[in-house]
Amino acid sequence: MGMTITQKILAKHAGKDYVEPGELINCKVDVVLGNDVTSPVAIAEFNKLGVDKVFDKERIMLVPDHFTPNKDIKSAEQCKTVREFARKYEIKNYFEIGQMGIEHCLLPEQGLVLPGDLIIGADSHTCTYGALGAFATGVGSTDMAAAMATGEAWFKVPETIKFVYYGKLPEWVSGKDLILHTIGDIGVDGARYMSMEFTGEVIKNLSMDNRFTMANMAIEAGGKNGIIEPDEITLAYVKERAKRPFEVYQSDEDAKYFEVREYDVSKLEPLVAFPHLPENVRPVSEAAHVSIDQVVIGSCTNGRIEDLEIAAKIMKGKKVHPEVRVIILPGTQQIYLEAVRRGYIEIFIEAGAAVSTPTCGPCLGGHMGILAKGEKALATTNRNFVGRMGHPESEVYLASPAVAAASAITGRITPPWAV
């Protein structure tokens, strides 16, 4: 019997010809990733192992991005722990202020994660790299510690749900809307410990930035990983960046799927996830009554150059509503610099938005945008759980950069064609 792309990658890294769903396997990993929140715990566990070196100085990626620039003394100490570990073990791929970015924007940009890779990261949104045709998944800090020492991790081979998107994608509808539509359909646990394979004519025409957004939010449906087969668009993105050789995998025609779901997106409009779950999805036209206090454009979900381009297109020549705070966070230094070159930053500042150095910032209630009691934020981030961005009685609404930019102008959730 044939295998899915996920099965093939796992089989290769387990040194096996075939693996089946439910099978427990031990795999060699290509990349181990940690940030300033998860790495200190992993480092403490690593130190208990009694080893004197890491498995590969070039395959461990450390990116302080959650509370950097440091929010307070505790976050400064966490970053110091990571920095000292990187120096001690000569970790090549350590990125801090000035070179850093939001980890899941940075690693693809730098060509450090590639098609066919097996990638683990002590961050749930590590699944982002599935957009490249890699098996990428989040793990705990203990698993990260073991992998830093051995270069290996264990997995249960997931079953796969195949999602097929067809039809003509309407104007203003993006990868964010496709994944919100999907999560709204199957629920936040609809793909629990399963691989979500995104395919169909719509996916084949999506840009890489939109593909990253879709794979990024697989975890919000409970997915073990999200994945898209590499094609010409993928290879065009990868070949100019890749730091090492890579291998492309595709699902077999006779691969077995747990389920196949098909979506005609022709009549889809931009979507908004209402509090307090990403599955609580409604069309933007049904959300226009919601007034907001803050807009956040950025994060590992929507902090890439195309996201900023869309926001700038809508905000150009307009002013942010006087009762709304707008925070824009480019995903990496390179994205920030490109936005400067294209004039987007000038557009944002003239409109009345604040533009920040790359950081996860308010997405996880970190800093630079915490919500007070009763406040409402519209964000291009990935989670809107209770208290996610601040006070437990605040509210977070999730949407695309187009909806976020339009809403920043009007002061309420607004379709992008209405400004």
Q: What is the pLDDT of residue 93?
A: 96
Contacts for 42 with CB less than 8 Å, ≥ 6 apart: 34, 122, 141, 142, 144, 145, 148
Show the low-confidence residues of the chain (pLDDT under 70). none
What are the structural domains of the chain? 5-262 (3.30.499.10), 271-418 (3.30.499.10)
If we measure between CA atoms, which residue out of 288, 282, 285, 296 comes closest to residue 377? 296
pLDDT, tens only, 175-210: 999 999 999 999 999 999 999 999 999 999 999 999
**Residue 371 phi, psi (nearest 5):** -90, 145
Tokens of 202: 């719509």
What is the Cα–Cα distance from 294 to 362, expressed in whole angstroms? 11
At residue 124, the 3 state secondary structure works out as helix
How far does Cα 125 stand from its chain's mean position?
Answer: 5
Question: With 0-12 CB in 10 A as exposed, 13-18 as middle and 19+ as buried, what is 244?
Answer: exposed
**What are the b/e assignments for 162-186, b being 16+ CB within 10 Å?**
bbbbeeebeebbbbbbbbbbbbbeb
Q: What is the pLDDT of residue 268?
A: 95
Tokens of 221: 């449906």
Q: What is the pLDDT of residue 365?
A: 82
What is the Cα–Cα distance from 139 to 120, expressed in whole angstroms? 6
pLDDT, tens only, 58-115: 999 999 989 888 889 999 999 999 999 999 999 999 998 888 899 999 999 999 999 9
If we measure between CA atoms, which residue out of 340, 338, 359, 366 comes closest to residue 103? 359
Tokens of 299: 């994060």
Q: What is the pLDDT of residue 411?
A: 96
